[in-house]
Amino acid sequence: MIAKAKHQRLVLILVAVAAMIGATLLAMSALSQQAAYFYAPDDIRRDKPEIGKAIRLGGMVQKGSIKRAADGVTIGFVVTDGLATTPVRFRGITPDLFKEDSGVVAEGRLDASGTFVADNLLAKHDERYMPPQMAGKMHKTETLEK
Protein backbone atom coordinates (compact mmCIF):
# COMPACT_ATOMS: atom_id res chain seq x y z
CA MET A 1 0.00 0.00 0.00
CA ILE A 2 1.14 3.50 -0.78
CA ALA A 3 1.83 5.61 2.26
CA LYS A 4 -0.93 7.98 3.25
CA ALA A 5 -1.74 11.49 2.24
CA LYS A 6 0.92 14.02 1.45
CA HIS A 7 3.71 11.64 0.47
CA GLN A 8 1.74 10.18 -2.41
CA ARG A 9 3.09 12.58 -5.01
CA LEU A 10 6.64 11.91 -3.85
CA VAL A 11 6.08 8.16 -4.04
CA LEU A 12 4.68 8.47 -7.56
CA ILE A 13 7.66 10.55 -8.64
CA LEU A 14 10.08 8.00 -7.19
CA VAL A 15 8.25 5.11 -8.90
CA ALA A 16 8.31 7.00 -12.20
CA VAL A 17 12.02 7.79 -11.90
CA ALA A 18 12.80 4.18 -10.98
CA ALA A 19 10.79 2.95 -13.99
CA MET A 20 12.61 5.34 -16.31
CA ILE A 21 16.03 4.32 -14.99
CA GLY A 22 15.07 0.66 -15.35
CA ALA A 23 13.92 1.20 -18.92
CA THR A 24 17.10 3.08 -19.78
CA LEU A 25 19.32 0.35 -18.30
CA LEU A 26 17.33 -2.31 -20.16
CA ALA A 27 17.67 -0.30 -23.36
CA MET A 28 21.40 0.29 -22.97
CA SER A 29 22.19 -3.36 -22.25
CA ALA A 30 20.07 -4.53 -25.19
CA LEU A 31 21.72 -1.91 -27.39
CA SER A 32 25.24 -3.03 -26.59
CA GLN A 33 24.31 -6.52 -27.83
CA GLN A 34 22.08 -5.66 -30.72
CA ALA A 35 23.36 -2.53 -32.45
CA ALA A 36 24.55 -3.41 -35.96
CA TYR A 37 27.55 -1.40 -37.07
CA PHE A 38 27.96 -0.14 -40.58
CA TYR A 39 31.05 -1.41 -42.40
CA ALA A 40 32.61 -0.68 -45.76
CA PRO A 41 34.76 -3.47 -47.29
CA ASP A 42 37.89 -1.58 -46.26
CA ASP A 43 36.70 -1.45 -42.63
CA ILE A 44 36.21 -5.22 -42.70
CA ARG A 45 39.75 -5.74 -44.05
CA ARG A 46 41.32 -3.50 -41.42
CA ASP A 47 39.24 -4.49 -38.41
CA LYS A 48 37.43 -7.76 -38.98
CA PRO A 49 34.08 -7.96 -37.14
CA GLU A 50 33.22 -10.98 -35.05
CA ILE A 51 31.89 -13.91 -37.10
CA GLY A 52 28.12 -14.22 -36.77
CA LYS A 53 27.57 -10.71 -35.32
CA ALA A 54 24.88 -8.69 -37.11
CA ILE A 55 26.43 -5.88 -39.15
CA ARG A 56 25.62 -3.83 -42.21
CA LEU A 57 27.84 -3.74 -45.25
CA GLY A 58 27.68 -0.83 -47.65
CA GLY A 59 29.32 0.02 -50.94
CA MET A 60 29.01 -0.43 -54.69
CA VAL A 61 28.17 -3.67 -56.45
CA GLN A 62 31.31 -4.47 -58.49
CA LYS A 63 30.83 -4.57 -62.23
CA GLY A 64 30.49 -8.11 -63.64
CA SER A 65 30.39 -9.68 -60.18
CA ILE A 66 26.72 -10.73 -59.92
CA LYS A 67 26.53 -14.54 -60.27
CA ARG A 68 23.35 -16.55 -60.00
CA ALA A 69 23.54 -20.01 -58.41
CA ALA A 70 22.00 -23.10 -60.04
CA ASP A 71 18.93 -23.03 -57.76
CA GLY A 72 17.89 -19.73 -59.36
CA VAL A 73 17.24 -17.95 -56.07
CA THR A 74 20.71 -17.54 -54.57
CA ILE A 75 23.03 -14.87 -55.90
CA GLY A 76 26.62 -13.98 -55.17
CA PHE A 77 28.21 -10.60 -55.83
CA VAL A 78 31.13 -8.49 -54.68
CA VAL A 79 30.80 -5.20 -52.79
CA THR A 80 33.59 -2.70 -53.25
CA ASP A 81 34.43 0.70 -51.79
CA GLY A 82 37.34 1.30 -54.14
CA LEU A 83 39.88 0.18 -51.52
CA ALA A 84 38.84 -3.39 -50.73
CA THR A 85 36.18 -5.92 -51.69
CA THR A 86 33.90 -8.31 -49.80
CA PRO A 87 32.07 -11.27 -51.39
CA VAL A 88 28.35 -11.43 -50.53
CA ARG A 89 25.86 -14.27 -50.73
CA PHE A 90 22.12 -13.57 -50.71
CA ARG A 91 19.12 -15.84 -51.04
CA GLY A 92 15.96 -14.07 -52.11
CA ILE A 93 14.56 -11.57 -54.54
CA THR A 94 16.88 -8.64 -55.01
CA PRO A 95 15.39 -5.16 -54.57
CA ASP A 96 14.14 -3.35 -57.64
CA LEU A 97 17.12 -1.00 -57.80
CA PHE A 98 19.81 -3.58 -57.15
CA LYS A 99 22.23 -3.62 -60.08
CA GLU A 100 25.93 -3.61 -60.94
CA ASP A 101 27.84 -0.36 -60.44
CA SER A 102 25.16 0.87 -58.08
CA GLY A 103 25.02 1.41 -54.33
CA VAL A 104 23.81 -1.25 -51.94
CA VAL A 105 23.50 -1.80 -48.19
CA ALA A 106 23.43 -5.45 -47.08
CA GLU A 107 22.23 -6.54 -43.64
CA GLY A 108 23.65 -9.80 -42.37
CA ARG A 109 26.82 -11.34 -40.95
CA LEU A 110 30.23 -12.66 -41.92
CA ASP A 111 30.68 -16.43 -42.06
CA ALA A 112 33.89 -18.31 -41.28
CA SER A 113 35.10 -18.20 -44.89
CA GLY A 114 34.94 -14.40 -44.95
CA THR A 115 31.80 -14.30 -47.12
CA PHE A 116 29.10 -11.89 -46.04
CA VAL A 117 25.77 -13.71 -45.77
CA ALA A 118 23.02 -11.15 -46.33
CA ASP A 119 19.49 -11.51 -44.92
CA ASN A 120 18.36 -8.37 -46.60
CA LEU A 121 19.53 -6.01 -49.34
CA LEU A 122 18.66 -2.33 -49.44
CA ALA A 123 19.15 -0.38 -52.63
CA LYS A 124 18.61 3.33 -52.93
CA HIS A 125 14.93 4.11 -53.23
CA ASP A 126 14.98 5.71 -56.65
CA GLU A 127 17.26 7.51 -59.06
CA ARG A 128 16.91 10.87 -57.36
CA TYR A 129 16.92 10.05 -53.67
CA MET A 130 20.34 9.25 -52.29
CA PRO A 131 20.98 7.55 -48.96
CA PRO A 132 23.36 9.73 -46.92
CA GLN A 133 25.41 6.61 -46.14
CA MET A 134 26.41 6.46 -49.78
CA ALA A 135 26.90 10.17 -50.35
CA GLY A 136 30.21 10.87 -52.01
CA LYS A 137 30.57 7.28 -53.15
CA MET A 138 28.10 7.70 -55.96
CA HIS A 139 27.54 9.96 -58.88
CA LYS A 140 25.96 13.31 -58.10
CA THR A 141 22.22 13.64 -58.10
CA GLU A 142 20.60 15.45 -60.94
CA THR A 143 18.82 18.51 -59.74
CA LEU A 144 16.57 21.02 -61.34
CA GLU A 145 19.13 23.78 -61.03
CA LYS A 146 21.55 21.96 -63.30
Question: 73-112 mask for other proteins (x: CB under 8 A)?
Answer: x-----------------xxxx-xx---------x-----
Question: Shortest approach of other proteins to residue 50 CB, angstroms?
Answer: 14
Name the burial class of residue 138, with classes exposed (0-12), middle (13-18) and buried (19+) by CB atoms within 10 angstroms of its CB.
middle
Residue (of 86, 85, 92, 87) closest to 76 by Cα position: 87
Give the whole-angstrom CA distance, residue 38 versus residue 44. Answer: 10
Question: 41-60 mask for other proteins (x: CB under 8 A)?
Answer: -------------x-x----
Are residues 95 and 125 in contact, defined by beta-carbon separation less than 8 angstroms?
no
Return residues touching other proteins (CB under 8 A). Answer: 1-2, 4-6, 8-9, 12, 15-16, 19-20, 22-24, 26-28, 30-31, 33-38, 54, 56, 68, 71-73, 91-94, 96-97, 107, 125-133, 135, 144
